């Protein structure tokens, strides 16, 4: 039987931090679009960037899922309840981070609004316009999923800091880039 690594594979680490960066950029783009009047082309540019980065995050998350199948997770650290809570939070983070761009895509499609990807590609209209459903999905995307995502991110960061400062174990260091070379 193969032994489990004690650290995350570099692919896992790199994709984790890339998703963090993408999510910050997605949030920043949607916030910055609010500074412009509806008639200002810059408002649409920031929205296009928000959609493009969101779809990029979706692709990176799918690669992360594939990477999880390729490279084993390190042996979990902590009490049983901590490992169970960690698994729950990680699973929910994956679901919500995948659901956010999918719901954003569905919202735009159902509203009949174009989806440009980095200004280079326009996604064709794939569904019949349904404004009522678009509004419901917009509520889920902007209010429900966003609130859940923020809550999970806070719990995730708090857990990492708990492990680092209270438990004084290597949970946080295992996800940081660096010399942790005992991966499979």
Give the CATH number for residue 88.
1.20.950
Decide if 180 is inside a domain.
no
The confidence score (pLDDT) of residue 177 equals 87
Pick from 33, 61, 30, 54: nearest CA to 117 = 54
* Locus of tokens 């009047």: 37
Decide if 100 is inside a domain.
yes
Share of the chain above pLDDT 70, in %: 96
Q: How far apart are CA 24 and CA 157, in angstroms?
A: 14
Decide if 183 is inside a domain.
no
Tell whether the model's pLDDT for residue 42 goes beyond 90: yes
Decide if 2 is inside a domain.
no
Q: CA torsion angle for 92, 98, 103, 104 (degrees, to 10)?
A: 130
Tell me whether residue 120 is exposed, middle or buried, using C-beta atoms within 10 angstroms of its C-beta: 0 to 12, 13 to 18, 19 or more: exposed
Query: What global pTM score does this model have?
Result: 0.92
Pick from 76, 65, 84, 86: nearest CA to 11 = 65
Decide if 155 is inside a domain.
yes
Domain of 51 in residue numbering reads as 10-175
pLDDT band (50, 70, 90) for residue 4: confident
Tell me whether residue 45 is exposed, middle or buried, using C-beta atoms within 10 angstroms of its C-beta: 0 to 12, 13 to 18, 19 or more: middle
Report the SS3 class of residue 168.
Answer: coil
The confidence score (pLDDT) of residue 5 equals 86
Decide if 86 is inside a domain.
yes
Decide if 97 is inside a domain.
yes
Which range of 76-85, 111-120, 173-182 scores highest in mean pLDDT? It is 111-120
Q: Which tens digit of pLDDT belongs to each residue from 132-175? A: 999 999 999 999 999 999 999 999 999 999 999 999 999 999 99
**How many domains, the chain?**
1
Give CA separation, 184 vs 78, 115, 151, 169, in Å: 21, 40, 32, 21
Tell whether the model's pLDDT for residue 182 goes beyond 70: no
The H or E element containing residue 119 is none
Decide if 5 is inside a domain.
no
Tell whether the model's pLDDT for residue 1 goes beyond 70: no
């Amino acid at each position: 039987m193969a032994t489990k690594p004690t650290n995350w594979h570099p692919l896992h680490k790199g994709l984790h931090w890339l998703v963090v960066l993408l999510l910050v950029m997605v949030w920043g783009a949607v916030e910055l679009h609010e500074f412009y009047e509806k008639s200002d082309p810059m408002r649409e540019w920031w929205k296009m960037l928000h959609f493009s980065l969101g779809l990029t995050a979706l692709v990176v998350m799918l690669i992360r899922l594939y990477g999880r199948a390729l490279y084993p997770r390190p042996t979990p650290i902590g009490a049983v309840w901590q490992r169970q809570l960690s698994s729950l939070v990680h699973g929910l983070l994956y679901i919500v981070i995948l659901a956010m761009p999918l719901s954003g895509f569905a919202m735009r499609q159902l509203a009949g609004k174009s989806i440009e990807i980095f200004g280079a590609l326009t996604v064709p209209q794939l569904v019949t316009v349904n404004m009522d459903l678009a509004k419901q999905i917009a509520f889920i995307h902007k209010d429900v999923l966003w609130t859940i995502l923020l809550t999970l991110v806070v719990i995730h960061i708090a857990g990492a800091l708990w492990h680092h400062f209270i438990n004084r174990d290597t949970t946080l260091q295992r996800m940081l880039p660096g010399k942790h070379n005992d991966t499979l």
